[in-house]
Amino acid sequence: MRLSPFLLGAVALLPTTVLCQLSGKVGPLTTRAAKTAKKTCNVLNYGAKADKATDLGPPLAAAWAACKTGGTVVIPSGNYAMKTWVTLKGGSAWALQLDGVIYRTGTDGGNMIFIGATDDFELFSSTGKGAVQGNGYEIHAQGSRSGARILRLNKVTNFSVHDVVLVDAPAFHFSLDTCTNGEVYNMAIRGGDWGGLDGIDVWSNNIWIHDVMVTNKDECVTVKSPSKNILIENIYCNSSGGCALGSLGADTAISQVHYKNVYTWKSNQMMMIKSNGGSGYVEDVVFENFIGHGNAYSLDVDQYWSSMSTIAGNGVQLSNLTFKNWKGTEANGAQRGPVKVFCADGAPCTDITITDLAMWTETGSKQTYSCRSAYGSGFCLKAGTSKSYAAITSTVTAAPAKYSAATMAGDLKTAFGTTVSIPIPTIPVSFYPGATPYSKIAGS
């Protein structure tokens, strides 16, 4: 179990409460070496075959039953079919070593791999080549997104998931639901160019997500409610929907979240906070070091989001949000400017800070900044904290200084469709310009 380097520095400065940051250690309590030394349960010894035809589900469940109280379940290199899903619930001090590639052949909904009520857990590939191929295109080509998630963790504590690849989920790729003290890193997620195929959704406490690439057309790495003490950094949204908070509804409770080093290429947005009505709060959140190119929206706070039905309530209260050091370009600044902060009239935003944001349009020679019922400092935000106000928009025709920003070598020229198989990618060596992953990529 470890602390992020960023948290170590924060702890030195703030010996009491650490805002917008992790609250303690994350990751497994026991090393994978210790788990493996205690017991190893190879799925090949429980009936699995790397023939891309024999159902892996029952052998995987049997291997887990033998190792669930201490040991490592191993799926060796090779190609495996998965027709029936597995629910691995109630274990402790175990690991799942995925070095092979699992191909979905079943048609059920739900979750292909569900890890629940588990403590001291690790899911990893020792080679960096372990993957799950969801073959979602077979369902999506029929106009449906009713299939399974690839991976869901529920009420898992002291864990890590790393060095694995998730591809073409029928529905969502990876959900972290009510988990605690977790680390997710060194991953590539690649889905179809269609909404509803989320990359990573997290609603949990004390989670560090870093060095992850997502390709899809919905959530890249998104925080949902309830969540607290979430650190998300070195994120590569490579033709995606982009990162977000939400969508937010009734009794929202999100606090102490920090997004840092997020690179977004040709996506729906760089960061969106989305709601329509509702109640509760989002507070003490930082969005730092964002680079974007070719995105529809950039900084987009929309509490009148038309893609969700209006929920009863005056609106989610947004307060103490900081956006700093954003650079790059947006697709069309006249149509969708780089700053849009539309807050609920019934719950105006307070203490919003936008600083060191320099972005410019890739189309035309002007861009807009728009605010509504939003208070703080920077651009069109108003000073004060009280009354609602109608939308105000300003237009600029000169590019700001120092908006130029780096691109990434892996930027996709075209998105993946929904009617043909999506190839399994390799995990990239970098997830943000100039940033080295915190942990060495397995197999590199």
Q: Is 312 exposed, middle or buried (0-12, 13-18, 19+ CB in 10 A)?
A: exposed
Catalytic residue, candidates 163, 201, 211, 218: 218
Amino acid at 339: V
How far apart, in Å, are the Cα atoms of 365 and each of 294, 333, 370, 379? 15, 8, 17, 18
Amino acid at 25: K
Tokens of 368: 């807009």
Strand-pair category, 92-98 with 131-133: unpaired
Q: In the annotation, is 218 catalytic?
A: yes
Catalytic residue, candidates 168, 293, 300, 302: 293
How many Å apart are CA 217 and CA 238, to the nearest integer? Answer: 10
Sign (positive or negative) of CA dihedral 327, 330, 334, 335: negative
How far apart, in Å, are the Cα atoms of 36 and each of 32, 42, 94, 157, 188? 6, 11, 9, 20, 25
Q: In the annotation, is 284 catalytic?
A: no
In contact, 295 and 326? CB cutoff 8 Å: no
Query: Which residue's entry shows tokens 């009280």?
Result: 386
CA 350 to chain centre: 26
Rounded (to 5) percent helix, strand, coil in the chain = 10, 45, 45
How many Å apart are CA 174 and CA 198, to the nearest integer? Answer: 8
Strand-pair category, 392-396 with 367-372: antiparallel
Count, residues in the chain: 444
- Vertex 180, ends 300 and 38: CA angle to 5°? 135
- Active-site residues, by number, are 218, 293
